[in-house]
Structure 1
């Protein structure tokens, strides 16, 4: 039986392990952390990732834990729509929509599908050999693999070993806040609102929770003694229900992070027997909501290619697509960072006029992203060694 070692137990790593096991691989997942801690934030899973999860038999489980976005789009800080669409329009075009759920819920689905004795926590990796597939842990244990999957995130050590000349992640110029907030009796609809260099996103989840996120242009490393009070200061004058959601947030539940991305794409997503997935391969700004979705796509495509012994095919299938999505995310990030009042007014007017000319602009603009389909199932019963 072919052996695979997956480094990292995030969304890309767990999904890769599941996809490989379903194709007959013996898989070991190594995770440096001693526990998989639930992250108190939400996650959008779009039509493209749902189709990938469907090939693993997990799509309906995710849908059952999620809430469909319904009407969604972009507003101004005063609440006026700039552009919007509906889940029905997306489903009619892509045979599926966008669902939102707590990140922890998706992780529970993935770990539950992984199977026993696959995940090894508290196991850091010291070295990988791209030619032989040897993996040496920090404890000195050596594992042999026909395939090594680097799923160790934006600060990936696996990526650094494969491409030592790559500059790595850079600061995107924005700080992000995220939180899960009780909805209470508030009327909540899904929307992202743009101001002068600032963004607020709101997505209702199943049950009594709302996923809230915000970004602002700040120097890297800036933090505040009371992040909730700082959010209220920056966004308390925005349209309803944003001020009420901020007041309802528990200060300890607010996660603040600086946004980093790979401004310089990698030349390939594999070398020898080692392949990269997710943020290790193509960390992007969150503006398209495709970071986790692309990791799920990676996993399904990698298992398909590795089963045929073709890691060149994995890079060929993923590199150009993810580069385009990285660029689109960065272009959106730059648009939201604009602070000059005249440029902001011009940006908003252009978006409104374009939507009036093409009411389906928002949904059509995502054709390349959401119209993706998983590779056809042409799998032999036993994987060939890459």
Structure 2
């Protein structure tokens, strides 16, 4: 029986471990953290990611735990809707719920190893599912593939209040972004992003939240209500890191999945989705083909698509967080909204 060592027990690592054929492979998962996240955030599951969840066998429970999206409004900083877009077939789910259900789907035959990885195995297939700061990518792809720090700070959290109908959407200001979306019927997911020198490590969440309240003071009333209810213990504050372009995700007996392969800015909401699709695609190929053929096919299926999304997400970040071009951007969006309503 061939060995597969998965470094990282997050979304991609657990989805892969849950989908690999236990009769063909002995799988071990190494995860530094052995508890679920203490701060809840929400993830958008697009239809293709839902298909991956169906392959894992947990789509029904994710649908039951999540919330649906009907429409998305793009607003200016005052709250005025510039354009509205229909959103169908997307589920919002708590990251904690998703990890819990993925973890439960992993068969008992999988070996769990807690703690930091001190040495990489020399035999079997090595899978880097260890995120944007991947030690596997660093070891196999070299210094040019090291993660890169962006100038942006991101804050996220969930508050125990429902979303007022007239406040949901994304608020695009001058060099700043604020988002409000339903996390469930009685809870609201919020996120904010802007340039900051805080961090990159050891960010004081209370200080970051205070800075965000000051930054968005006097903006849309809905933003003020959210930030007034947000608490440091329910908020995640991180600098955004990305992964440079990789021409392939598999070489010899090492393969990357999820953020380890294509860590991107969060503006398209596709990071978790692509991690799930990576994992299920790789598992299905390994279950049905010889290893070299499976890895070649994985490169062919996943690199171009996920790299295109990485580039698109980066372009979206520049558009959303632009400063000098913000007035022109808002006029174009407002015109597009009027044309859409007229049509």
1:71 aligns with 2:52: no
The alignment's C-alpha RMSD in Å is 2.3
In the alignment, is the contact (CA less than 8 A) between 2:163 and 2:188 conserved in 1? Answer: no
Q: Distance in 1 between matches of 2:342 and 2:268?
A: 17
Question: Which position in structure 2 is the counterpart of 1:122?
Answer: 114
**Residues 5-24 of structure 1 aligned to structure 2 (within 5 Å):** 5-21=5-21, 24=24
Q: Distance in 1 between matches of 2:337 and 2:230?
A: 34
> How far apart are residue 255 of structure 1 and its match?
1.4
Q: 3-state SS of the aligned residue for 1:49?
A: helix
Question: Which position in structure 2 is the counterpart of 1:270?
Answer: 250
TM-score, L = length of structure 2: 0.90
> How far apart are residue 182 of structure 1 and its match?
1.5
Q: 3-state SS of the aligned residue for 2:233?
A: helix
In the alignment, is the contact (CA less than 8 A) between 2:56 and 2:105 conserved in 1? Answer: no
TM-score, L = length of structure 1: 0.81
Q: 3-state SS of the aligned residue for 1:126?
A: coil
Query: How far does the alpha carbon of each residue in 1:160-182 deviate from its partner, in whole angstroms, 9 at most, with x for none?
Result: 11111424111221101111111
1:103 aligns with 2:95: yes
1:81 aligns with 2:113: no
Q: 3-state SS of the aligned residue for 1:173?
A: strand
1:148–1:360 Cα change, 3 Å: farther
Q: Distance in 2 between matches of 1:298 and 1:184?
A: 33
Give unpaired runs (5+ residues) of structure 1.
91-96, 135-144, 362-386
In the alignment, is the contact (CA less than 8 A) between 2:32 and 2:117 conserved in 1? Answer: yes
> How far apart are residue 14 of structure 1 and its match?
0.5
1:353 aligns with 2:335: yes
**Residues 31-46 of structure 1 aligned to structure 2 (within 5 Å):** 31-46=31-46
Query: How far does the alpha carbon of each residue in 1:81-135 deviate from its partner, in whole angstroms, 9 at most, with x for none?
Result: 2222233xx3xxxxxx111121101111101111335352423323335xxx52x
Q: Distance in 2 between matches of 1:189 and 1:63?
A: 24
Within the candidate set 296, 306, 314, 1:322 is matched to 306
Q: 3-state SS of the aligned residue for 1:316?
A: helix
1:321–1:328 Cα change, 3 Å: same
1:317–1:51 Cα change, 3 Å: same
Q: Distance in 1 between matches of 2:163 and 2:151?
A: 35
In the alignment, is the contact (CA less than 8 A) between 1:192 and 1:201 conserved in 2? Answer: yes
> How far apart are residue 339 of structure 1 and its match?
1.4
Q: Distance in 1 between matches of 2:39 and 2:276?
A: 18
Q: Distance in 2 between matches of 1:21 and 1:258?
A: 37
Query: How far does the alpha carbon of each residue in 1:315-349 deviate from its partner, in whole angstroms, 9 at most, with x for none?
Result: 11111111100000000111122112xx2111112
In the alignment, is the contact (CA less than 8 A) between 2:264 and 2:310 conserved in 1? Answer: yes
1:233–1:16 Cα change, 3 Å: same
Within the candidate set 237, 240, 261, 2:221 is matched to 240
Within the candidate set 187, 209, 212, 2:190 is matched to 212
Question: Which position in structure 1 is the counterpart of 2:52?
Answer: 52
Question: Which position in structure 2 is the counterpart of 1:256?
Answer: 237
Q: 3-state SS of the aligned residue for 1:300?
A: helix
Give unpaired runs (5+ residues) of structure 2.
none
Q: Distance in 2 between matches of 1:298 and 1:357?
A: 38
Q: Aligned pair count?
A: 336
